[in-house]
Amino acid sequence: MTKRNKYDWPALLKEFSDSGLTQVEFCRRKGINAKYFSLNRARILRQTSNNFVEVTVSSPKKHSVISFKFSQGELCFNTSADPDYIASLIRAL
């Protein structure tokens, strides 16, 4: 049995989703306990369901702005802003 950490599960869940297999069959093929898989899947879905952010992408214009709309408000950045900074700020929210 392969030991998996929290960073392995999102890719594993994507693989399951793309496989078209039932959860039981997928787990059997991967050598995963189906109950353990189900518990981890539910945990991750709970964690990620509240983190969805809708992003609208438009073609860049002179002096264009990147805008992120949240239920609590909106963040706007110049397109020259550092992407890593923006990503860390959004993760902190």
| pLDDT per residue rounded down to tens, the chain (93 residues) | 577 877 888 889 999 999 999 999 999 999 999 999 999 888 887 776 666 667 777 766 566 788 878 777 888 888 888 888 888 877 777
Distance CA 9, CA 32 (A): 12
3-class SS at 7? coil
Integer angstrom CA distances of residue 79 from 22, 42, 46:
43, 37, 32
Return the pLDDT at 74. 83
Tokens of 20: 């078209």
Return the pLDDT at 22. 93
Task: Please state, as a whole number, how many other Cβ atoms lie within 10 Å of the Cβ of residue 32.
Answer: 19
Return the pLDDT at 34. 92
